[in-house]
Each structure stands twice: as structure tokens, then as C-alpha cells.
Structure 1
Amino acid sequence: MVAVFVLAGLAAVALLGGVHWYVWRRLVRDVSAPHSLWRRVGTVLAVALPLVSVANMVAARAGAPFAVERVLAWPGYMWLALLLYLVLALLAGEVVRLAVRRVAAARRRGPLPAGDQGTVRLPDRKDSAGTAGGTGNAGSAGSEESRRVFLARSLAVGAGAASVATVGAGAYSVLNGPTLKRLTLPLPKLGRAAHGYRIAVVSDIHLGPTLGRAHTRRIVNTINGTQPDLVAIVGDLVDGSVADLGPAAEPLRHLRSRHGSFFVTGNHEYIGDAGEWIDHLRELGVHPLENARRELPGFDLAGVNDLAGEDEGQGPDFRKALGDRDPARAAVLLAHQPVQIHEAVDWNVGLQLSGHTHGGQMWPMNLLAGLANPTVAGLERYGDTQLYVTRGAGAWGPPVRVGAESDITLVKLESPAV
């Protein structure tokens, strides 16, 4: 097992090194003279930035002081986001580079005159002596080199500008706070008294070294502005301990709704001490649903622990949460991961509310998220059970979202009896 981890680590280092060499080659070596200022600065950055990113990831896993994590997190994570889009832009530039080369080669060959088909032209004596022909070739080579450098610089500037603009807009999207989405759902078996019931659904807040108290306050203000009947926090609230992130979670105390705020664990809660956070949330007035159920007017609200809790003997228990309920009543289930929908179908749940995927967070990661989750974002039906997956209100790793805007969703339930 140790050998597997060592090999995986070496492969990751080799991949990271190869990617940075490619970026250095295209953004530094190909566009600058050997002893220019940009060659020296770019080379230093090509070494320093990956070291900061690796140090950031090591610090987070080695239990470094939270102050150290905060110092390393912003440059470390932002560089990884920028690296992703630099590589994508440079790869697109390779297509342009290949097309330009083919066009230039076709122009150099040129079409043969109609009467010269099959005729071979011998070089002039001037050419063979290396006088006039030699001078022309030298000029052509210099012109070709100038065109090559111009193309390399143009592609480098374009890739840099595109990636910086993409990451900048993605960071602004996260730091500006989640957008509010509204969704109306008919829910079979929902009692007449619960018609129009509004649930504010938020997930994946990811309080940590980059997202803190101000982020929580924006989320609380958005939720309170909807005047919901109930608040559902569907996992991955934190990336750290209560000692480090307790102050960041403090604004949750000010959540306001008619029937209270409820919470189920996500996989990230089990990276640290999930029990510690559950106790702290109770102090903040948030009610954890640990494989438990609450009877509300017109429907049952149930919650199950995340799958990551299985390693600690705290995994999801659908029987405990749903086993003895009245099947004539509607059931709304809070479950962090969308893959738990299959058990929800077996237990005749009417609606499952989930998060976990971030909608992919940064394109094209949504393609990978689609391989691991039945639904990446939005509403889908599985048998008689509806699954709604929110994109989440925060971000994991780089505080950047591209093509997957963060959200809080206000779900309005409709009764068939009305």
C-alpha cells in the first residue's frame, strides 16, 4: 500500500513538473532572448509558483497553523486555477500554430507553372556559389524567425490574457456571493397545509482559509431576505476545525425561518471532527439531522449522514431516518451526495435535496463530475423520486467558479390537494 502511494505521488510530481515545463517553454523560452529580464523572471516564477501550490496542499494535510494555511492558500490555489486555463489556452494555441505553419509551407511551395509540370530546375551558378542565393536564404531565414517569434508572443499574450480574465471573473463570482434561484416543485402526498412551503437550500459553503466570516454573512443575508419556512444546509459547511473556523461560522446564528435551520454532514466534515461541528452547530441554533427525521406540517423532513462517515461508523442509515414513518405522508430528504438517490427511491422519498458536485465548479471539471454523480446540477426524476442538486454557495480549493455559478435555491413545494 505504501508503494502505491509513493508511485502515485511520484506520478503527480512528474505530471506537475511536465505541465510547468510546457508553460515555461511557451510563455518564457519561446518569446524571450536567453539573457533577457523576462527569461530570468519567468524562470523564477515557473519554479516558485508550483512550490507554493505544493506547500499549500502539504500544509493543509500536515496540520500546519491556520495562519500559515491562510498565507499559502490564496497564491497556491489561485495559481492552480490559472494554470488550468493557461494550459487549455496554450493547447488551443497549438492548433493555431499548426494551421499557420501549414499555410506558410503551402505558400513557400507555391503552384507550379502550367508548362513546368514535371520539369526540374537546376540551381544557378550564383546560387551554387553561395553569393546571391546565399544572401537571399539568410534574409528568408531571418524573416522566418521574426514571424515565428511574433506568432509565439501573440499566442502567449492571448493565452495569458484569456486565462487571467477567466480566473478573475471566476473569483469575482465566488467573492460576490451566491445568486438566488427559485424553483417550484409539485410534491405528491404533500398536505394541503404545506402548499407553498418554502425551503432555502444551501450546500458546499466550504468555510476555510480563503472563505470566512464575510462569506457566511453574505449567505445568511441572502437566505433571510427570502423569508423561508425552513433552511436546509446540505453538507460541506467547513474545511477545518471549530477552533480555526468557529468565528467564520458565527453568522449562522442569525439565520431566520419559521421552522428553523437543519444540517446534514458532507464528506468534508469527516476530514476533521464532524462530531465537534455538530455540537457547535447546535450552539448556533442549527439542528443536525443525524440519520433522523422531523415531522413538519404536511410532510416529513429527514436527513442522513454522508457516505464518508462510514469509516467512522457514522455512515448513512436510511432505516433509522425513514423506517417507521407514515408512508401516506410526503418525505423530503437531505442527503449531501446525489448518489444517495438510489436508496431514497427504495424508501419512497418524494424529494431529495443534495449538493456535493459544485456543478463542476470550473469547466471542464463538470465532465468529470458527471462521471461520478447521477446528476451534476438541477432537477431530475428517478422513478417516483425527484432529485434536486444545488451547485453550492462556496468553492473548494481555488475560490473560483467558471461555468458553474454558485447558488442558494428557494424551493417552493406545491400540494396536489390544492
Structure 2
Amino acid sequence: MVILFVLLVLAVLVTANWYLWRRLFRDTTQAPGLVRRAGAVLIAGGWVLTVTALVAERTGAPFWLQRVLAWPGFLWMALSIYLLLAVVAGEVVRPLLRRFLERRAGAETAVRQPEPEPVPAGTAPTPDHDPEQDAEPPAAGPPSLPSRRLFVSRVVGGTAAALAVGTVGYGTYGVLNGPTVKRVTVPLAKLPRAAHGYRIAVVSDIHLSPVLGRGFAQKVVDTINGTQPDLIAVVGDLVDGSVKDLGPAAAPLAGLRARHGSYFVTGNHEYFSGAEQWIEEVRRLGLRPLENARTELAHFDLAGVNDVSGEDEGQGPDFVKALGDRDTARACVLLAHQPVQIHDAVEHGVDLQLSGHTHGGQLWPGNLIASAANPTLAGLERYGDTQLYVSRGAGAWGPPTRVGAESDITVIELASTQA
């Protein structure tokens, strides 16, 4: 079954990329030549870079090589998605544009060829008179069908390419420019009046990597500190790489500042990157990891569980250990990377779960897939007596690009219903 699935994926990729080459390069040129060959090299080479970048990241290739491959490889991944979407959308425009040109050419032909004026009765042409001398030179007719098709293909292909490049460029600028700040008020019935207005800065999915490095981490830290939170919650997927490679990139996290400290739980990508080493590293940077653990703050309990990906290493989530013996009369806020963990949170009487993982879909229409795989894609929703807030995340996985899912850091302001 695995082999069949891989073959199916390869068949889809090959077909989609052949279709791209055909519409963007074959249909826009009159004959085989340099442009068609260059297009084939561009598309095939882009995917070679993408696959190589992914393999290099997962296999721990030399970090310099990961950085060389990551930018072109991951950007091609995003660009190919929007090239395909734009070209497919162009199939709707193509016949309409062709029909418009045909009608316009027909109308111009009718105007340029008026009916001949009638000759009065009894009038005959003189012997030396040539009627063809009085006729205007024939007007240029409408372009032939092949040239019209070529023109339409160039217009549609050029527009599709421009739209795709613009979309990816804007989406990449948005990520590199840093996350925006969202503010959400969450009322908790068990929260005492003294804690009304308590602010938790929630950041997830920073995804430090060969692409998003130390400078990006510093932007995230500066943005969080600018909100002056009471507590900071880093809810997983901090990194895509080892401590050896990305430790310097994560160093700015030591500058996080909050009255009641910074806390961390693992995401699935930590388990691809050496979770135990990263837990020790974030502890060294001043964050407190909550590994299936709970701490009792002045006005509520703060708990954290490991990501479900830790189960393969015997380090999965343990809700009983984190929540089993707590005082249920106190409000409880749970840090759990994936929204799917909400069902266990409901069973254990959690008041508010803070999660990430979805990226809000990251690249539209990826939100449709992410919505199907998660109970909540982004934002605040209620499940019984438990509320779930899902952040879209601060960074990006793979392409440093977001389309239709702006990156964010969320300041959760707890509200007491007794206030």
C-alpha cells in the first residue's frame, strides 16, 4: 500500500508539472527551442532542489548545505503551488479571451469591407478604365487561428506567472517581516476577581530553521516583550533542526521577559529535531518546560502536556500525570501543541487549552486540509465547559511564506466573570 501511495503521488506530481510546462512554455512558443528546454530545466530543477532541501533537513546534512538548498527549494515549493492554481484558473479565461478576439476580428473585417456601390443604369466602364484601380488595397484580415492561440496562451501564461510570483513574494515578505499581535479576551468562570485582566502571550510554531534564523527569533522576542505580558507560553514547534545547528538561532529566547516567567511544551517537530536536547536548551535559556506537569500560580493552575508525536519515543502526553490530582475548584490553563488534544482536556476539566500546530493552513487552500484534520483551525472555540484557542503561529514550515493565514502572536487576556 505504501508503494502504491508513493507511485500515485509521483504520478500526480509528474502530471501536474508536465501540465505547467505545457501551458507556460510549450503553448507560448511556436516551435521547440531554447525556451522550452529552459522551462523543463526550471521545473525539474526546482523540484530537485525542493526534495533535496527536505532530505537534507531531515537527515542532518551539514548546516551550510541546508541553508544553500532551503531558500530556492522551499520557495519553489510555494511558487509551484500558485503557478498551478493560476494556470488552472486561466483555463476559464482562455476560451473567453479567444472568443472575444474572434468577435473583434470579425467586426473589424466587416467594417473594412463595405458593400460595393451600385453602378447607375446605362453606365459602362470606359475601355481604358480598370475597376481594380479604384478599389482600396485589401485590409489586413484577422490573425490566423494558430497566431490567435499563441497570443492567448502568452497572455494567460504571463498573467498566471505574474500572479504566482506576486502572491509568493507578498506572502514571504509577511513572514520575514515578523508576526502581528492579536488580542483576545477569554472569560473563565473559576478565575478570581484578582486575576481579571491577566495577560498570557501565546506563541507557537516559530520554526527556527535554515531559513528562519537568529534575526527572526529576535523579532519574535521583541514583539512578545512589547506586549508586556504577565506570562509567556511557547506551545511547540520551536525548531526544525538540532541544537548544534540552531542553538545560536534560538539564543534570543533568553531575552523573553514576563512577570511570571516563560513556559514551553513540545510540538511534533521537536521530536524530529532531538526533543530531549531542546528541552534542556530551552531550560538553559530561561524557559520552564512543562513535561506532563503542572505549576500552581497565584490564581490558576498552568499545566502542559507533551505532543502526541512523543509517543513513538515513550514521551507522549500524560493528562493524568499533569492534571489528575489538581484542585478542580481552581481555574486551569493547559498548554498542548495540537488542537486534537482538546478531547482529553475536556475529560480532565480544563478551562482553557492553548494550542498551535495548524498554521491556519499557511498556504491557501491548505486551510481546507488543515480544517479537516483539526477540530479548530484558528481562533477561539468552546467544547463543553472547555475553551480552545488555536494560534496561527509566528513562523512557517517549509516555504517561509503564508497566504491567507497571517502569522501572529496572541495576547490572551483572562477575564473573571466575577469582576
**TM-score of the alignment, normalized to the shorter chain, above 0.5:** yes
- 2: distance between equivalents of 1:401 and 1:159? 19
Conserved? CA contact 1:192–1:298, under 8 Å: no
- 2: distance between equivalents of 1:22 and 1:302? 51
Partner of 1:76: 73
- 2: distance between equivalents of 1:284 and 1:6? 44
Which aligned runs of 4 or more in structure 1 are off by greater than 4 angstroms?
A: 100-110, 139-142
Conserved? CA contact 2:105–2:142, under 8 Å: no
How much does 1:326 deviate? 0.7
> Are 1:52 and 2:49 matched, yes or no?
yes
Conserved? CA contact 2:74–2:399, under 8 Å: yes
Conserved? CA contact 2:58–2:272, under 8 Å: no
Task: State the Cα deviation string for residues 77-135 of structure 1 (Å, max 9, x = none).
Answer: 1011011011111001111123345677899999xxxxxxxxxxxxxxxxxxxxxxxxx
Q: How does 1:247-326 map to 2 (within 5 A)?
A: 247-326=248-327
Partner of 2:128: none
> Are 1:18 and 2:15 matched, yes or no?
yes
- 2: distance between equivalents of 1:239 and 1:179? 22
Conserved? CA contact 1:357–1:391, under 8 Å: yes
Conserved? CA contact 1:191–1:297, under 8 Å: no
Counterpart amino acid of 2:378?
Answer: A
Conserved? CA contact 1:266–1:337, under 8 Å: yes
- 2: distance between equivalents of 1:18 and 1:54? 17
User: What secondary structure does 2:194 align onto?
Assistant: helix
Task: State the Cα deviation string for residues 198-217 of structure 1 (Å, max 9, x = none).
Answer: 10000000011110101110
Deviation larger for 177-186 or 37-46: 37-46
How much does 1:70 deviate? 0.9
Counterpart amino acid of 2:157?
Answer: A
Task: State the Cα deviation string for residues 209-250 of structure 1 (Å, max 9, x = none).
Answer: 110101110000001111111000000001111000000100
Q: How many residues are paired up?
A: 387
Task: State the Cα deviation string for residues 175-212 of structure 1 (Å, max 9, x = none).
Answer: 00000011111111112221111100000000111101
Conserved? CA contact 1:33–1:39, under 8 Å: no
User: What secondary structure does 1:402 align onto?
Assistant: coil
- 2: distance between equivalents of 1:185 and 1:350? 10
- 2: distance between equivalents of 1:72 and 1:84? 19
Conserved? CA contact 2:57–2:241, under 8 Å: no
Q: 2:92 aligns with which of 88, 92, 95?
A: 95
Task: State the Cα deviation string for residues 32-76 of structure 1 (Å, max 9, x = none).
Answer: 132544233223212221221122222223332121111111111
Partner of 2:372: 371
Partner of 2:362: 361
Counterpart amino acid of 2:330?
Answer: R
- 1: distance between equivalents of 2:306 and 2:187? 26
Partner of 1:401: 402
Counterpart amino acid of 2:279?
Answer: I
Partner of 2:241: 240
User: What secondary structure does 1:388 align onto?
Assistant: strand
- 2: distance between equivalents of 1:367 and 1:73? 26
Counterpart amino acid of 1:6?
Answer: I
Partner of 1:190: 191
Partner of 1:34: 31
Q: Which has the larger radius of gyration?
A: 2
> Are 1:9 and 2:6 matched, yes or no?
yes
Q: 2:82 aligns with which of 61, 85, 92?
A: 85
Conserved? CA contact 1:196–1:414, under 8 Å: yes
> Are 1:382 and 2:383 matched, yes or no?
yes
How much does 1:9 deviate? 2.9
Identity of aligned residues (%): 64
Conserved? CA contact 1:200–1:230, under 8 Å: yes
Conserved? CA contact 1:358–1:392, under 8 Å: yes
- 1: distance between equivalents of 2:327 and 2:46? 58
User: What secondary structure does 1:14 align onto?
Assistant: helix
- 2: distance between equivalents of 1:379 and 1:47? 42
How much does 1:142 deviate? 5.5
Task: State the Cα deviation string for residues 257-276 of structure 1 (Å, max 9, x = none).
Answer: 00100000001111121011
Counterpart amino acid of 2:285?
Answer: L
- 1: distance between equivalents of 2:2 and 2:153? 39
The two structures have a TM-score, normalised by structure 2, of: 0.89
- 2: distance between equivalents of 1:179 and 1:356? 17
- 2: distance between equivalents of 1:44 and 1:342? 49
Conserved? CA contact 1:193–1:297, under 8 Å: no
Partner of 1:167: 168
Deviation larger for 251-260 or 90-99: 90-99
Deviation larger for 55-64 or 228-237: 55-64
Partner of 1:203: 204
Partner of 2:348: 347
Aligned in 2, Cα 1:321/1:27: closer, same or farther, shift over 3 Å? same
Partner of 2:122: none
Counterpart amino acid of 1:341?
Answer: I
User: What secondary structure does 1:31 align onto?
Assistant: coil
Aligned in 2, Cα 1:177/1:47: closer, same or farther, shift over 3 Å? same
Partner of 2:216: 215
Q: What are structure 1's unaligned runs of at least 5 residues?
A: 111-138
- 2: distance between equivalents of 1:410 and 1:342? 24
The two structures have a TM-score, normalised by structure 1, of: 0.89
Conserved? CA contact 1:206–1:237, under 8 Å: yes
Q: What are structure 2's unaligned runs of at least 5 residues?
A: 108-139
> Are 1:66 and 2:63 matched, yes or no?
yes
User: What secondary structure does 1:258 align onto?
Assistant: coil
